[in-house]
């Protein structure tokens, strides 16, 4: 089953391909077709980390009428963190959807800026209940045109006392609407909401019914062993609000990594058995007070450290005992919050990872190490959020404004903004200016016995990869993941080099030594012509309309020169 077979639109397929989505998860297979085509409301019992956001987010975006600049879809979430996470994911899904406006609405941020955004017009609102009711009561939010409502983590919202708020919000939504409710468990209060506000809801169960909430996503990055520390820094930079424990196997590794992080400007420190009790208490106090935001620790030293608000647990190497991994990952995702457990591994640890998956009954998501461009974008948006929320003491600062304003009067608003951002980001921009891409290691063995190559049966999926979808042409290009070539590079290459109307790219298959992608039949020749003779990091590009009967995998392997 593919996302295309589920009915997901090509422009959304491009967005999720850029995010590394390959095959749908079970909750997505069950929910997406029902939201796109079915008439019934839906109650989905699923844990956090099962792919819920894409399950409801893709059809939600697909059902938006872009010609109408009014709220058409509403997602309710229990916490600010989840609200921002959902809104961010929806924006990533809709990367190639023009003119769509998605707004997170939550407490703790400027309500005036949210009001301004609402008045400009939005189509999807992701909100926490309290702030949304405030905006409804002010007459700023009108839900008369909402055709889809999603309640995410409904049981958690009820645990936090939002039942009356939910009832109030839903009373402002038209009766003729589609409603989806996600919940990890099905307590009586959730059932009451379903009975009162949903029409003959269909129930979908992912995993075990009424299983306790598990709010931890399990992610792994596969890199060369020498690049582990670089990957750790990029993960930290890509999460500006990170509050994490990095687990190491030995005291030596713990101190060494902490020292490197401190030297590189991170608020970090080490916790291990060589510290005295006084030193340990000082480190733990600083970590609880968030003077330190990254704690590098051994498992033994971290026992008894109880912190509820960790955003990440990072495994700088997997433990030998699965119970130790379970204990590590259980330190995040507490008190109903979503947490992330990350493993930074190299190829020799892949078997251990699969063993942990089997025992804990959860699949690790494979992610690409964040690129410098993505990191800088994340950091800039975080600074913008901090600028928006900073407390201004008007009485104290007003007396200094005239002089400062006169000093800076020659600068335009854009120039001033660039300088404010540069103050914060010159170090980051310079550091990442020529930073290399940290690639995944190919998970398949690099060398194979010659007999194995001849005796290996043909993979029936290979021909499917070479065959275009109906109405499309399949293009081959001799660049793959082993060359550091990914979907974003392909899109960038086409945008920069293909003249004429914008190229709409369909399904993309990235292999180690080559790539295949779909385009409209009428665009195929100009694309092949435009790619001819280009270079990608020193490698000459070759492209052609793909032949379904040609073995590109064999053709792409390097051939040894005869002596």
225: nearest Cα among 107, 316, 147: 316
Q: Residue 184 has what pLDDT?
A: 62
259: nearest Cα among 228, 296, 298, 231: 296
Would 198 be classed as within a structural domain? yes
Would 85 be classed as within a structural domain? yes
All residues at 6 or more sequence positions from 56 whose CB lies less than 8 Å from its CB, including other chains: 31, 35, 75, 150, 152, 180, 182
Q: Residue 149 has what pLDDT?
A: 93
Would 95 be classed as within a structural domain? yes
**pLDDT tens digit sequence for 476-520:** 998 887 777 877 778 878 888 888 887 888 888 888 888 888 888
**pLDDT tens digit sequence for 48-81:** 556 788 999 999 999 999 999 999 999 998 877 6
Beta pairing, strands 505-510 & 472-477: unpaired
Q: Residue 164 has what pLDDT?
A: 84
Distances (CA, A) of 203 to 45, 116, 186, 314: 8, 38, 11, 35
Q: Which helix (H) or strand (E) holds 408?
A: none
Domain count, the chain: 2
Would 23 be classed as within a structural domain? yes
Rounded CA separation 187/491 (Å): 46
- Kindly report the CATH number assigned to the domain that includes residue 459: 3.30.70.330
DSSP assignments along 292-331, one per residue: -SEEEE-HHHHTT---S---EEEESS--SSHHHHHHHHTT
Q: How many CA atoms lie within 13 A of 389 on its CB side?
A: 10
Rounded CA separation 560/563 (Å): 9
Percent pLDDT > 90 in the chain is 23
What's the token pair of residue 504? Answer: 């709409």
Distances (CA, A) of 2 to 24, 33, 51, 228: 6, 12, 15, 32
459: nearest Cα among 500, 529, 511, 404: 511
Q: Which DSSP category does 505 fall into? A: E
Q: Residue 464 has what pLDDT?
A: 55
Residue found by looking up tokens 């909402």 in the block: 146
Q: What is the mean pLDDT of residues 91-116?
A: 88
What's the token pair of residue 250? Answer: 């030995």
Rounded CA separation 187/135 (Å): 29
Would 332 be classed as within a structural domain? no
Task: Identify the residue with better confidence: 140 or 303.
Answer: 140
Question: Is the pLDDT confidence value at 45 over 50?
Answer: yes
Which of 153, 171, 205 is the last residue before a domain boundary? 205
Lowest mean pLDDT among 201-210, 247-256, 448-457: 448-457
Question: Is the pLDDT confidence value at 297 over 80?
Answer: yes
In this prediction, residue 268 has a pLDDT band, given cuts at 50, 70 and 90, of very high
Question: Is the pLDDT confidence value at 21 over 90?
Answer: no
Would 316 be classed as within a structural domain? no
Beta pairing, strands 515-520 & 472-477: antiparallel
Cβ neighbours of 113 (radius 10 Å) = 11
Measured N-to-C along each axis, helices 487-497 and 10-18 cross at an angle, to the nearest 10 degrees, of: 120
Average pLDDT of the chain is 81
Rounded CA separation 14/484 (Å): 19
Range(s) of the domain holding residue 66: 10-205
Percent pLDDT > 70 in the chain is 86
Would 61 be classed as within a structural domain? yes
Rounded CA separation 139/133 (Å): 10
Give the global pTM. Answer: 0.45
Distances (CA, A) of 443 to 222, 381, 530: 9, 34, 32
Rounded CA separation 344/246 (Å): 10
Q: What is the mean pLDDT of residues 324-344?
A: 77
Q: Residue 461 has what pLDDT?
A: 46
Would 472 be classed as within a structural domain? yes
What's the token pair of residue 439? Answer: 């690639």
Which of 163, 187, 205 is the last residue before a domain boundary? 205
Rounded CA separation 315/222 (Å): 12
Q: Residue 492 has what pLDDT?
A: 78
- Kindly report the CATH number assigned to the domain that includes residue 23: 3.40.50.300
E-strand stretches of 42-172: 42-45, 73-76, 102-105, 124-127, 148-151
Which of 174, 205, 236 is the last residue before a domain boundary? 205
Residue 107 near residue 385 (C-beta atoms within 8 A): no
């Amino acid at each position: 089953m593919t996302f295309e077979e589920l009915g997901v639109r090509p422009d959304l397929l491009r967005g999720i391909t850029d995010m590394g989505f390959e095959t749908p998860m079970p909750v997505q297979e069950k929910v997406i077709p029902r939201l796109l085509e079915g008439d019934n409301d839906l109650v989905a019992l699923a844990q956090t980390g099962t792919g819920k956001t894409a399950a409801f987010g893709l059809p939600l975006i697909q059902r938006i009428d872009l010609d109408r600049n009014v709220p058409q879809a509403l997602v309710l979430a229990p916490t600010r963190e989840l609200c921002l996470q959902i809104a961010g994911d929806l924006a990533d899904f809709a990367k190639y959807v023009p003119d769509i406006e998605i707004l997170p609405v939550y407490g703790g941020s400027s309500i005036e800026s949210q009001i301004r955004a609402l008045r400009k017009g939005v189509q999807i609102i992701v909100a926490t209940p309290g702030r949304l009711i405030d905006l409804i009561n002010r007459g700023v939010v009108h839900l008369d045109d909402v055709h889809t409502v999603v309640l995410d983590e409904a049981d958690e919202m009820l645990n936090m006392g939002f039942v009356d708020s939910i009832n109030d919000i839903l009373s402002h939504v038209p009766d003729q609407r589609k409603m989806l409710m996600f919940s990890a468990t099905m307590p009586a209060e959730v059932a009451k909401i379903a009975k009162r506000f949903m029409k003959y809801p269909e129930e979908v169960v992912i995993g075990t019914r009424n299983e306790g909430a598990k709010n931890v996503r399990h992610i792994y990055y596969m890199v060369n062993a020498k690049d582990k520390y670089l990957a750790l820094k990029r993960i930290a930079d890509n999460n500006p609000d990170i509050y994490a424990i990095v687990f190491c196997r030995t005291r030596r590794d713990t101190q060494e990594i902490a020292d490197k992080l401190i030297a590189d400007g991170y608020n970090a420190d080490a916790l291990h058995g060589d510290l005295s009790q006084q030193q340990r208490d000082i480190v733990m106090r600083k970590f609880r007070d968030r003077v330190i935001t990254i704690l590098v620790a051994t498992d033994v030293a971290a026992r008894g450290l109880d912190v509820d608000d960790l955003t990440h647990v990072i495994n700088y190497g997997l433990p030998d005992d699965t119970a130790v991994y379970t204990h590590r990952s259980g330190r995040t995702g507490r008190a109903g919050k979503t947490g992330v457990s990350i493993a930074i591994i190299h190829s020799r640890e892949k078997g251990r990872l699969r063993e942990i998956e089997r025992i804990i009954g959860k699949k690790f998501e494979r992610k690409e190490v964040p690129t410098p461009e993505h990191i800088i974008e994340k950091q800039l948006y975080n600074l913008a959020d901090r600028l928006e929320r900073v407390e201004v003491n008007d009485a104290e600062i007003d007396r200094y404004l005239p002089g400062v304003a006169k000093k800076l009067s020659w600068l335009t608003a854009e120039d001033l903004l660039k300088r404010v951002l540069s103050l914060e980001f010159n170090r980051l921009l310079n550091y990442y200016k020529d930073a290399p891409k940290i690639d995944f290691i190919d998970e398949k063995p690099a060398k194979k016995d010659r007999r194995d190559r001849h005796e290996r049966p043909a993979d029936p999926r290979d021909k499917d990869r070479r065959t275009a979808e109906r109405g499309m042409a399949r293009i081959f290009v001799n660049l793959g993941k082993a060359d550091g070539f990914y979907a974003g590079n392909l899109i960038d290459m086409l945008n920069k080099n293909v003249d004429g109307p914008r190229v709409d790219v369909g399904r993309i298959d990235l292999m180690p030594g080559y790539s295949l992608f779909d385009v409209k039949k009428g665009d195929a020749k100009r694309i092949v012509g435009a790619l001819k003779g280009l270079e990608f990091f020193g490698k000459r590009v070759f492209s052609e309309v793909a032949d379904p009967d040609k073995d590109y995998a064999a053709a792409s392997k390097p051939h040894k020169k005869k002596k």
